[in-house]
Amino acid sequence: MTKDQISFLNRLAIRAGEEILKIYAEPFDVEEKADGSPVTKADAAAEKIILAGLAERFPDVPVVAEEAVEAGHLPAVGDRYFLVDPLDGTKEFLKKNGEFTVNIALIDQGRPVFGVVSAPALGEIFWGGALEEGGDMARQAFTGRIEGGDIAAVRPIKVRTPPAEGLSVLASRSHMSDETAELIGRLNVAEQLSVGSSLKLCWVAAGRADLYPRLAPTMQWDIAAGDAVVRAAGGAVVLAATHEDFVYRVPKGARKDDLRNPHFIAVGARELLPDLASAA
């Protein structure tokens, strides 16, 4: 992607976050989706902004967006499409702890080639992927502060080398499964961290943690943007069962259930994978 395209997508995520914060600051109603998960008008408001922006700038690229799919609108896609989660971490949104995110990812031939994750209440933004510079393509990942609608204090991020004294492992604040707890219990863990939404993936990318196992249900739009940031920072997101790289697919005639993810593990260093296999 070009710098102009990246700048546009980052600003789009920030604009959606600004709309979310307006609703976050006031009383709002909570509804339930068909699967029982919560949804608010902030989800729809943010998605409306993102869809309009993508249609204007990338009119030929299909968009698979969470709330549209929930309403029965899942477009046919080819090798290249956007995955959008306008508000990941609705439970964190309801708890008012700020740990929710806006997620926009570009998928190309099954791989997340760019992603931006904005955490509007925390004033943080992460992005990364295959960036075009002088005709060459290179994977890079960055973070910055959201200030007045712009991004300040930009710095590159990368995964870290696992420390000898033990791993920092991330677990979901709201969705810890027995399988995940059992896997963590078999590892040499120095600290276990919890944070909401796709921030877990971004923390792995930024070297704040070594590992994020997710042996519980998720959807493709929940993780695609964060996955792009992890890969651009030098890490990997792999299938928990085989340790093969995660691949994104929307089959012909797909329905929502076809976009459910298999269990996965995000790692900063692939050298951890043999230990994970022995712990499984």
**Binding-site residue ranges for substrate:** 66, 87-90, 222
Q: For the chain, how far is it from start to end, CA to CA, in angstroms? A: 37
Q: Who's near 217: CB < 8 A, 6+ residues apart?
A: 175, 260, 261
Torsion, Cα of 220, 225, 227, 233 (10° steps): 170
The number of CA neighbours under 13 Å toward the Cβ of 276 is 27
Helix (H, G, I), strand (E, B) or coil at 241: coil
Q: Who's near 260: CB < 8 A, 6+ residues apart?
A: 217, 218, 219, 220
Question: Binding site: residue ranges?
Answer: 66, 85, 87-90, 222
Instruction: Give the distance, in angstroms, between the CA of residue 147 and the centroid of all CA atoms in the same chain.
Output: 21
Compute the C-alpha angle 122/126/163, nearest 5°.
Answer: 95
Reading the block at residue 38, the tokens are 């919560």
Reading the block at residue 143, the tokens are 């973070």
Reading the block at residue 137, the tokens are 């393509």
Question: Binding site for Mg(2+): residue ranges?
Answer: 66, 85, 87-88, 222
Q: Who's near 274: CB < 8 A, 6+ residues apart?
A: none
CA dist list (Å): 156 to 139, 207, 229, 232, 234: 11, 11, 11, 10, 12
